[in-house]
Amino acid sequence: KDKRLQVSVFMSPANVHVNRNPISGEVIYNQYHKGKYLVAWNPKSSTENERHSVVVKKGTTEILVKQIAGAVAKRIINYLEVGQKVTQGQEMGFIKFGSRVDLLLPLGTKLNVQLNEVVKGGVTVIATLP
């Protein structure tokens, strides 16, 4: 529960809905949370909506990824298991019909994207870790 830099990626029903591992490392936490289906841009959707939370650890760095369902997207698929070794850019799951993915990054992380910038999975480097 330390302070983190949050980057949210919103996906419309017309977008590709595949979610990818933000870093290579080991999955140390993987939990499904039942919840509401608020619209994805509602700030409370990050904590109140149905979601799947995953923490990937590499060395001393831990990245939390939240796959968040929305008002239209009500089905989250996650392929990962605790203890699994993952590779950056590898598919970790998807959200049917789009919605939102939150990345919670360590403070001091350099963001490589701007507000409202369109990003492409497996291509756009969202941030550089400290």
Catalytic residue numbers, as ranges: 99
User: Computed from CA positions of residues 37, 35, 116, 13, in that sequence, does the dihedral angle turn out positive or negative?
Assistant: negative
How many helices (H) and strands (E) would you count in the chain?
A: 1, 11
The DSSP call for residue 48 is: H
Token pair belonging to 49: 């909506």
Instruction: Name the DSSP class of 36.
Output: B
